[in-house]
A and B are shown apart, each in its own frame.
Chain A
Amino acid sequence: MARVGVFVCWCGSNIAKTVDVVKVAEAAGKLPSVAYSTDYKYMCSEPGQNLIKQAIEEHKLDRIVVASCSPRLHEPTFRRCISEAGLNPFMLEMANIREHCSWVHDDKEVASEKALDLIAMSVAKAVKNEALFSQEIPLTKKALVIGGGVAGIQVALDIADAGYKVTLVEKTPSIGGRMAQYDKTFPTLDCAACILTPKMVDAASHPNIEIMTYAEVEKVSGFVGNFEVTIRKKARSVDMKKCTGCGVCYEKCPKKLPSEFDCGLGQRKAIYVPFPQAVPNVPVIDRENCRYFADGGKCGVCAKICPSQAVDYTLEDEMITDKYGAIVAATGFQPWDPTPYTNLGYGRYPDVITSLQFERLFNASGPTEGKLVRPSDHKPPKNVVFISCIGSRDDEHGYPYCSKVCCMYNAKHALLLKEKVHDAQAYVFYMDIRANGKGYEEFVRRTIEKYGAIYLRGRVSRVFQDGEKLIVRGVDTLAGKPVEIEADMVVLAAAMEAQPDAKDLARMLGISTDEYNWFSEAHPKLKPVEVLTAGIYLAGACQYPKDIPDAVAQASGAAAKVVGLFAKESLQSEPTVAEVNEDTCVDCQLCKEVCPYTAIDTKTLTDRAGNPIRTVSCVNEGLCHGCGTCVAACRSSSIQLRGFKDNQILSEIDALAFAE
């Protein structure tokens, strides 16, 4: 026979004001299986807890019901308390007679009756409680960072500095991300390379960081503390160990192609490093375009010329599988393709370009070596029109969201234009100026007031070529009249959008994406770097458009979470997870299909000789969050949540339904 102790808390006057705690405790003492009941002013206080411990000892109690506040608040407290008195912590039930009762009622009589009902339910459940035990889960103290942009680099450095190993996986041949493409960064205009390159080098030389470039995550399994990840290192065709980075290979390679890094404005070779400061400074062969691979081994110039014999056409993709305790996604964004704006002539007129292309045009290591000239005739532009919100805040062509950084880089571009070409004039068409960051508003004002940029609030209706000029027709809504500008160049501030493979990566990681494929955080305010899957964190623009300061701040936040996790010796599993009754499970796999955490797998039952009999579901306790979705779905009640089994819940319902 179970011996339940009931402890009714006054919570000062919080409960006692509306619930007759003394009478309720007395009545609770008469409930079936209750061996002892009492009330006290503050059950959570030290004397209150001692009261419980003593009663357990004196009255040989084996299950405890504390009638007080929400378990959210004090369940851990009372679990600890009863386990100190020798009971299994899961022998505790809490009846919430504060939030669910005293705080929401004022009629004392009715509230007292309800309090007793709530206690009766908890007693009925407690009688059915079983001892539960958490398991120790080992923890691999090594982190995987996916994406080597500024955010990913920052995460890797912070975790590595704390003393833990990190693997940084980058899809392209070099780390650096978008920031490596910029010349100067708002709002302070420091040279992007001067602040980013040292970080890239630090990451590359850090003893705790392993960088894998030209690599992609192929498969992820496991759970917090124990992820198993397979990474595909694409065949670079250059031996990383032998290459000295001298660069003769790409000087001599005969095959020229548009450079992705220069957004098509410059050229690269079939063997190339994306930019001179690339980390690692080891070229890759773009096999699709290489003559050696196209013509069955004919060209071979790079291999012949390489003084270190580093070029190796036989290298193959390499698969590396390793264990990680935590994963940080830092895969950034991609610029949106503004072709749908047919009225603006992008793709039709060479001097209508995107902001990212503009960045490359005045970058000292860009295709023009920093000389700002127009793509069509290589003459410096005089009148340049910048158009905001291309694909942002635009349901019709692009996305309804604001890309957040465009207002600022437009101001940056307008300012730098004036610095490069002194007699130039910048025009900026905008919807609103969003300059909310430290020093941002001042920066925009400076661009307007000191650098004479002309800001026009309104949209552009059409851009068309008229001889040498581009005619920009729009409207200045503040002046209330149409404007027409003869421009030399038009720059479109294209939206930031999620990476095209974001959804695939999310699926692999078992995390969710929002309607625009940005990765979803666990809570928009209170858990901005976590996701719903434990052990996976977000950093940078893969979550939502961010500028560099925000991306770096979030990166350090994500690193702090990882370091916090790794500071533990091992992980404790939560015992209140799902459990399959293998006798009755029919392997319909509905539970597997509804589980939001991919915690359910199928396993084969065998006879004693090891012959397969049938298959059933099984729960990965590390992945299960105890949400109970599977329990609701299973038609034969073959999957149950420990601590919340059907018989426990049904007993509660019976206690309520059949109470006199």
Chain B
Amino acid sequence: MENELRQKAKELLESGQVKQVIGYEDGSTAFKSTPCFASSPEDADRLVWNPTCVNNLAVYLPSAVKQGKVAVAVKPCDGRSVVELIKEHQINRDDVVTMVVPCPGVLNPDALADIDPKTIKNIEWKGDGISVTTDSGEISIPREKAFLDKCLSCTLTDPAVTNIKLGDSPERSPLKDKDAAIAEYEKMSVDERRVFWAKEFTKCIRCYACRQACPACYCKECFVDKNGQVWALKSTDPEANWFFHMTRAMHLAGRCIGCGECERSCPMGIPLTLIGRTLEKDVEEMFGSGAGQDPDALPILGSFDLTKDPDPCPE
């Protein structure tokens, strides 16, 4: 598969069809890969595809397309970000070639908790889980432990913007319900939730890693960075933190595709995907549609139809 990916990337670069291919390459350690920006056929040899390819590369597209047409390796989940970016006019459909990689699931770092990281040599898919090669031999980790939560409940097929399909899509047999994570949360009363979030948001150091990792946070100037129209303090005041996260959540309603990059990038371990998924569920229930499906769909804020309003304002 990796070879097929490199081959395709080379073809695209050699023929000049694209200026750049965005994919993954080996990182500084064997348990992390890093984004690869290949602009020559030789660069393409660095491309890899293995369980450590976790990043949602769609985040680079809006700036990358400014230099010319881009090919990007996307997992079915990340492909939905591409759909959103097209829908929101951040990239033109014609400026991006999606190379959809077959994804059985990507690495949950917790799976390696019992292994000395220095000894890890290689990680690959094996059976329905992964196999980790260490100095002292090979360790198999079963699927339920090996992959991220989002992968265990994944039912996604090829995204609506697929250009090149690499390999065969793996069978989807979700181990978990998509809403398992929020089911617990939803049991909390409103007051309990308030206490829960107060505690979580107090941890926030306002590094904005969540925002930077998010493919949907592409504003040139975030509301929270504005001068002269100060919506929330820029310091780590607990209320300002709260305000920042809640406003960001509102800005993502109907647009969050649940890639989980925000939570993964948060150095303070705030469970940000909980917000995203809870909100998405509301949107799905109220508007009957989810993010990242149809590049021609209107954004939910712009698709309001009075005749379908379940709760019209009284005259």
* A positions within 8 Å CB-CB of B: 515, 583-590, 593-594, 615, 633, 635-638, 645-647, 650
CB of A399 to closest CB in B, whole Å: 14
In chain B, what residue has the closest Cβ to A615? B89
CB of A292 to closest CB in B, whole Å: 43
Contact partners of A589 in chain B: CB under 8 A: 88-89
A188 to B219, CA, bound (A): 68
Q: Are A593 and B229 in contact (CB under 8 A)?
A: no
A-B contact pairs, 10 of them (CB 8 A): A515-B307, A593-B302, A633-B301, A633-B302, A636-B219, A636-B221, A637-B223, A647-B229, A650-B229, A650-B230
Return the contact of B301 from the options A590, A637, A647 (Cβ within 8 A).
Answer: A590
In chain A, what residue has the closest Cβ to B228? A647
Contact partners of A645 in chain B: CB under 8 A: 229
Q: Are A593 and B298 in contact (CB under 8 A)?
A: yes
In chain B, what residue has the closest Cβ to A649? B229
B126 at the interface (CB under 8 A from A): no
For chain B, which range describes its interface: under 10, 10 to 19, 20 to 34, or 35 or more residues?
20 to 34
In chain A, what residue has the closest Cβ to B247? A635
CB of A162 to closest CB in B, whole Å: 35
Q: What does the 1/0 interface line of B204-224 toward A look like (CB < 8 Å)?
A: 000000000000001111110
Q: Are A636 and B88 in contact (CB under 8 A)?
A: no
Contact partners of A584 in chain B: CB under 8 A: 219-221
A638 to B304, CA, bound (A): 22
B231 at the interface (CB under 8 A from A): yes
CB of B94 to closest CB in A, whole Å: 15
Between B90, B222, B301, the greatest number of chain A beta carbons within 10 A of the residue's beta carbon is seen for B301
Q: Are B301 and A593 in contact (CB under 8 A)?
A: yes
**Contact flag A590-B88 (CB < 8 Å), given A646-B229, A647-B228, A650-B229:** yes
B251 at the interface (CB under 8 A from A): yes
Between A588, A589, A633, A646, the greatest number of chain B beta carbons within 10 A of the residue's beta carbon is seen for A588
B299 at the interface (CB under 8 A from A): yes
Q: Are A590 and B223 in contact (CB under 8 A)?
A: no
**Contact flag A593-B299 (CB < 8 Å), given A635-B219, A635-B223:** yes
A645 to B302, CA, bound (A): 22
Return the contact of B90 from the options A586, A635, A647 (Cβ within 8 A).
Answer: A586
Contact partners of A583 in chain B: CB under 8 A: 220-221
CB of A404 to closest CB in B, whole Å: 21
Q: Are B90 and A588 in contact (CB under 8 A)?
A: yes
**Contact flag A636-B302 (CB < 8 Å), given A588-B88, A588-B90, A589-B88:** no
A77 to B305, CA, bound (A): 39
Q: Are A594 and B302 in contact (CB under 8 A)?
A: yes
A587 to B303, CA, bound (A): 18
Contact partners of B90 in chain A: CB under 8 A: 586-588
A563 to B303, CA, bound (A): 37
B193 at the interface (CB under 8 A from A): no
Contact partners of A594 in chain B: CB under 8 A: 301-302, 304
In chain B, what residue has the closest Cβ to A596? B304
Contact partners of A636 in chain B: CB under 8 A: 219-223
Contact partners of A590 in chain B: CB under 8 A: 88, 299, 301-302
B194 at the interface (CB under 8 A from A): no
Within 8 A of A (CB), among B64-89: 88-89
B226 at the interface (CB under 8 A from A): yes
Interface SS, A side: loop
Q: What does the 1/0 interface line of B300-314 toward A look like (CB < 8 Å)?
A: 011110010000000
Given A515-B307, A588-B88, 4 more pairs with CB closer than 8 A:
A588-B89, A636-B222, A637-B223, A647-B228
A25 to B222, CA, bound (A): 40
Q: Are A586 and B219 in contact (CB under 8 A)?
A: yes
Q: What does the 1/0 interface line of B266-308 toward A look like (CB < 8 Å)?
A: 0000000000000000000000000000000011011110010
Q: How many A-B residue pairs have CB under 8 A?
A: 55
Q: Are A637 and B307 in contact (CB under 8 A)?
A: no
A229 to B10, CA, bound (A): 52
Contact partners of B222 in chain A: CB under 8 A: 636
Contact partners of B220 in chain A: CB under 8 A: 583-586, 636
Contact partners of B302 in chain A: CB under 8 A: 590, 593-594, 633
Q: Are A650 and B231 in contact (CB under 8 A)?
A: yes
Return the contact of B89 from the options A587, A635, A646, A647 (Cβ within 8 A).
Answer: A587
Contact partners of B226 in chain A: CB under 8 A: 637, 646
A446 to B253, CA, bound (A): 65
CB of B55 to closest CB in A, whole Å: 22
CB of A244 to closest CB in B, whole Å: 51
CB of A592 to closest CB in B, whole Å: 8
In chain B, what residue has the closest Cβ to A629? B301
A637 to B221, CA, bound (A): 9
Contact partners of A637 in chain B: CB under 8 A: 223, 226, 229, 231
In chain B, what residue has the closest Cβ to A650? B229
A585 to B221, CA, bound (A): 8
Contact partners of A593 in chain B: CB under 8 A: 298-299, 301-303
Between A589, A633, A635, A636, the greatest number of chain B beta carbons within 10 A of the residue's beta carbon is seen for A635
Contact partners of B223 in chain A: CB under 8 A: 635-637
Contact partners of B230 in chain A: CB under 8 A: 650
Q: What does the 1/0 interface line of B222-254 toward A look like (CB < 8 Å)?
A: 110010111100000000000000000001000
CB of B226 to closest CB in A, whole Å: 6
A78 to B257, CA, bound (A): 51
Within 8 A of A (CB), among B27-45: none
In chain A, what residue has the closest Cβ to B226? A637
Contact partners of A646 in chain B: CB under 8 A: 226, 229, 231
A425 to B89, CA, bound (A): 69
In chain B, what residue has the closest Cβ to A647? B229
In chain A, what residue has the closest Cβ to B221? A584
The 8 closest A-B pairs by CB, nearest first: A593-B302, A646-B229, A636-B219, A584-B221, A647-B229, A635-B251, A588-B88, A594-B302
A206 to B304, CA, bound (A): 45
In chain A, what residue has the closest Cβ to B307? A515
Q: Are A586 and B301 in contact (CB under 8 A)?
A: no
Contact partners of B89 in chain A: CB under 8 A: 587-589, 615
A73 to B219, CA, bound (A): 40
A95 to B302, CA, bound (A): 34
CB of B262 to closest CB in A, whole Å: 16
A515 to B221, CA, bound (A): 41
In chain B, what residue has the closest Cβ to A512? B306
A588 to B302, CA, bound (A): 12
Between B230, B302, B303, B307, the greatest number of chain A beta carbons within 10 A of the residue's beta carbon is seen for B302
A583 to B225, CA, bound (A): 14
In chain B, what residue has the closest Cβ to A594? B302
Contact partners of A588 in chain B: CB under 8 A: 88-90
A594 to B300, CA, bound (A): 10
Contact partners of B307 in chain A: CB under 8 A: 515
In chain A, what residue has the closest Cβ to B302? A593
CB of B291 to closest CB in A, whole Å: 14
Contact partners of B219 in chain A: CB under 8 A: 584, 586, 635-636
Contact partners of B303 in chain A: CB under 8 A: 593
A583 to B226, CA, bound (A): 12
Contact partners of A586 in chain B: CB under 8 A: 90, 218-220
In chain A, what residue has the closest Cβ to B248? A635
Contact partners of A633 in chain B: CB under 8 A: 301-302
A191 to B229, CA, bound (A): 69
A584 to B219, CA, bound (A): 8
In chain A, what residue has the closest Cβ to B62? A586
A586 to B303, CA, bound (A): 20
Contact partners of A647 in chain B: CB under 8 A: 228-229
Contact partners of B221 in chain A: CB under 8 A: 583-584, 636, 638
A584 to B303, CA, bound (A): 24
CB of A383 to closest CB in B, whole Å: 43
CB of A98 to closest CB in B, whole Å: 25
CB of A226 to closest CB in B, whole Å: 26
A637 to B225, CA, bound (A): 11
A200 to B307, CA, bound (A): 39
